[in-house]
Amino acid sequence: MDIIIQTYQLKKTFKKEVVIKPLDFSLRKGEICALIGKNGAGKSTIFKMLSGQLFPTAGDIQLFGKSGKETAQAKKRMGFMIEAPEFFPDFTAAQNLEYFRIQRGIAEKERIYEVLQIVDLAKQKKKRFRDYSMGMKQRLGIALCLLSSPDCLVLDEPINGLDAEGIMEIRKLLLKLNEEKQISILVSSHILTELQLLATRFVFIKNGVIVDDLSKKTLDDKSKKQIRLKVDDAAKAARLLEQAYPDIQYKILPNHIITIQNYVEESGEINRLLIDSGVLVMEFRIEALNLEEYFLGLVEGVEK
């Protein structure tokens, strides 16, 4: 499979603080890879090194198999949105893109209308940028990334600050670019439930280190199910559970809710044990843990 981005022992130090520890990472053609980490985990630093905004302290970056001086040419096949692009507030979308087209030496003028069509802004001919919603601004940012017809997009927090509708529009747009235009995508966010609907691969980063790298299938398997029950006496229920299952993993939440992380397949027996022992069970269900909970467990070092 073609490797689009490859880093070898990539490291970044600011003053004496090591922000990115030696990092090996690759993005394969066709993937939508989500880079997931809390704010300050090092996501933006990695993206800025890939785009050339920051120089690595050590290590190497290859883009489309090219490294060193040759990466400048390879970068033309990439579209980066690391920070919100600076658009002219009084310009329309087409006027803004025309400015960047000339600045970047892109020959085909009609490319502007193609990308506005792709991001669904073609009908907004007269609207000025300052009157755009946050979602429209993000879509114009992606249109700018697409001007040079890239094979790969690198997007840092493209859904940050968007409402539910804006998030859905960006998700649909990225899926369309991946499926119809075969554009590979590296995207970061901390809105994990969204990424679960988008990405094919999940890379978790904590303090500049990759702590896990999972396919969608593996992640879905790991986002294990748990039992959630609501009882009238959580303390009594917990005692009964510990007596019956010495290695049970559970949490007591507010409002007498208990979640049990193992013994999911024994749910019927657990329910019967509590009822037979005089605990009133008001709610009993099996639910899947979402990516958010899995991720928090991972980056905070708590075993799920």
For the chain, which domains are there?
A: 3-221 (3.40.50.300), 225-288 (3.30.70.100)
| Distance from C-alpha of 184 to C-alpha of 212, rounded to nearest angstrom | 20
128: buried, middle or exposed (CB in 10 Å: 19+, 13-18, 0-12)? middle
Q: What is the Cα–Cα distance from 152 to 171, expressed in whole angstroms?
A: 16
| CB 266, CB 274: distance < 8 Å | no
Residues present in the chain in total:
304
Q: Is the dihedral of CA 163, 164, 169, 171 positive or negative?
A: positive
Q: Find out whether 187 and 152 touch, Cβ atoms under 8 Å.
A: no
What pLDDT does residue 1 have? 60
Residue type, 126: K
Q: What is the pLDDT along the chain (304 residues), one digit of tens a residue?
A: 699 999 999 999 998 899 999 999 999 999 999 999 888 889 999 999 999 999 999 999 999 999 888 988 899 999 999 987 789 999 999 999 999 999 988 888 999 999 999 999 999 889 999 999 999 999 999 999 999 999 999 999 998 888 888 899 999 999 999 999 999 999 998 777 778 889 999 999 989 999 989 999 888 777 778 899 999 999 999 999 999 999 999 999 999 999 998 888 889 999 999 999 999 999 999 887 667 777 777 766 543 3
pLDDT at 37: 86
Q: Note the Cα 19 to chain centre separation in Å.
A: 20
- Res 155: pLDDT: 96
At residue 304, the pLDDT reads: 35
Tokens standing for residue 271: 């329910």
